[in-house]
Amino acid sequence: MATTSLWKVENRLDKVIKYTTNAEKTENKNWYKDLHNTIEYTKADFKTEKQLYVTGVNCSEDNALQDMIFTKKRFGKTKGVLAYHGFQSFKEGEVTAEQAHEIGVKLAEELWGDKYEVIVSTHLNTKHYHNHYVLNSVSFIDGRKYRNTRENYALMRKISDDLCREYNLSVIEEKPCGKHKIDYTKYYTSYIQKSDYYTNAKDDIDYAISQAYSYKNFENILEEMGYTITIRANKISVCRSPYKRNIRIERNFGEEYSIKNIEDRILNSQVPKVPFLEIETKSKRYYTKQKYNINKNRGSLYKLYLYYCYLLKKFPNNRRKIKMSAECEKI
């Protein structure tokens, strides 16, 4: 079982990072010191028994502050909300330090790993092991600022619960909401309906089912379209670059997307098959967003140009052009 929260940081980002990565809180003593004193294990180096649980996602653990500030300056967004500080707390005695940190890093990667810099720190100074997150408010990909909406928080809760189920941890079941309580299930459904990633994935899965001759062929078609398929506990998850978020299709799209029901839909499909399917699937592929090191001296007009390139999905060709010699041009 894990509870989550996320709130904005509007000043002293350095202080927040320093607090969350405090070695006294992230050190796993694991009784090594007491064991060392009791048994007088003189040959053991106590310092090598320490384990610090701090991981940077898209940034360095040692230079996270500098990395985040560089991103803000790069896109000219140094004011307003500097970052978001969140936590994920586990039930007492239900996870080890390693599991807590592993789940915390997976949550950060699935939620923000495709666009944002995040520091994940696991604190072991209380009975309830808990993860702290410091999320840069500005994306290092396109400079867009993160918005802590109820829909985004509903996604955080949902992915946290999914990860807990994967690790066989208990999950707080949603209760019917009263008049003044927030129904996060409704906000999560709204997120899926608005998200291009989820809606495109659902369309692609339906397309693959309609064109497949077998379940294995269904997987091959999805892989041709750029998806990575993961099966855990007989449940299918898909992921497509540049996103790092696994979409658990049965849980998000309904029971008709279970492996058995997909097999039945393939067998009963009456949709005509497309000839030369490999050509058709190539046209449905999605390409990753390219990263550009924007030269500050190029000015705001060049940044605006790159922004419209991003919107139009037409990226500049950065390959060097080599001028042909006069002799070659004559040939």
Between these two residues, 202 and 184, which has the higher pLDDT value? 202
In a domain, residue 301? The reply is no
On whether both 30 and 84 belong to a single domain, the answer is yes
- Nearest in space to 86 (alpha carbons), one of 180, 1, 28, 152: 152
In a domain, residue 176? The reply is yes
On whether both 170 and 258 belong to a single domain, the answer is no
Given this model, what pLDDT does residue 301 score? 75
Q: Which residue has the tokens 């307003």?
A: 80
Domain boundary among 243, 266, 283: 283
Burial class (CB in 10 A: 0-12, 13-18, 19+), 280: middle
For residues 52 and 98, the answer to whether their CB atoms sit within 8 Å is: no
Mean per-residue pLDDT of the chain? 77
On whether both 184 and 234 belong to a single domain, the answer is no
Q: Which residue has the tokens 């899926």?
A: 192
In a domain, residue 122? The reply is yes
- pLDDT by residue (tens digit) across 251-284? 888 899 999 999 999 998 888 777 656 656 655 5
Phi, psi of 55 (to 5 degrees): -135, 135
In a domain, residue 31? The reply is yes
State which amino acid sits at residue 263.
E
Strand partners, 135: 84, 118
For residues 133 and 108, the answer to whether their CB atoms sit within 8 Å is: yes
pTM above 0.85, yes or no: no
Helix (H) or strand (E) holding 235: strand 235-240
Calculate the alpha carbon distances from 288 to 53, 163, 310, 315 in Å.
31, 26, 11, 11
On whether both 162 and 60 belong to a single domain, the answer is yes
First-last CA distance in the chain: 73
Neighbour-count burial for 283-313, b at 16+ CB within 10 Å, e otherwise: eeebeeeeebeeeeeeeeeebeebeeebeee
On whether both 52 and 129 belong to a single domain, the answer is yes
251 Cβ partners below 8 Å, 6+ apart? 162, 235
3-state DSSP helix/strand/coil % of the chain, to nearest 5:
45, 15, 40
On whether both 140 and 208 belong to a single domain, the answer is no
On whether both 222 and 118 belong to a single domain, the answer is no
In a domain, residue 148? The reply is yes
Q: Which residue has the tokens 């707080």?
A: 172
Q: Which domain holds residue 214?
A: 195-283
On whether both 187 and 201 belong to a single domain, the answer is no
On whether both 188 and 201 belong to a single domain, the answer is no
On whether both 116 and 252 belong to a single domain, the answer is no
In a domain, residue 221? The reply is yes
Domain boundary among 147, 172, 193: 193
Distance CA 242, CA 226 (A): 10
On whether both 69 and 185 belong to a single domain, the answer is yes
| CATH assignment of the domain containing 154 | 3.30.930.30
What percent of the chain has a predicted confidence (pLDDT) above 90? 22
Looking at residues 293-321, what average pLDDT do you find? 62
Q: Is 4 left (phi over 0), alpha (psi -120 to 50) or beta?
A: beta
**Most confident option among 72-86, 158-172, 204-218, 307-321:** 204-218
Half-sphere exposure of 193 (CA within 13 A, CB side): 7
Distance CA 45, CA 42 (A): 8
In a domain, residue 119? The reply is yes
Given this model, what pLDDT does residue 162 score? 86
Using DSSP bridges, classify how beta strands 130-136 and 227-232 pair: parallel, antiparallel or unpaired.
unpaired
Given this model, what pLDDT does residue 106 score? 92
Least confident stretch, 73-87, 119-133, 242-256, 314-328: 314-328
Between these two residues, 10 and 241, which has the higher pLDDT value? 241
Between these two residues, 180 and 269, which has the higher pLDDT value? 269
Domain boundary among 173, 193, 213: 193
On whether both 231 and 249 belong to a single domain, the answer is yes
Q: How many domains does the chain have?
A: 2
For residues 164 and 103, the answer to whether their CB atoms sit within 8 Å is: yes
- For helices 196-211 and 184-194, angle between their N-to-C axes, nearest 10 degrees: 70
Phi, psi of 4 (to 5 degrees): -130, 160
Given this model, what pLDDT does residue 269 score? 84
- pLDDT by residue (tens digit) across 51-76? 568 889 999 888 888 888 889 899 99
In a domain, residue 298? The reply is no
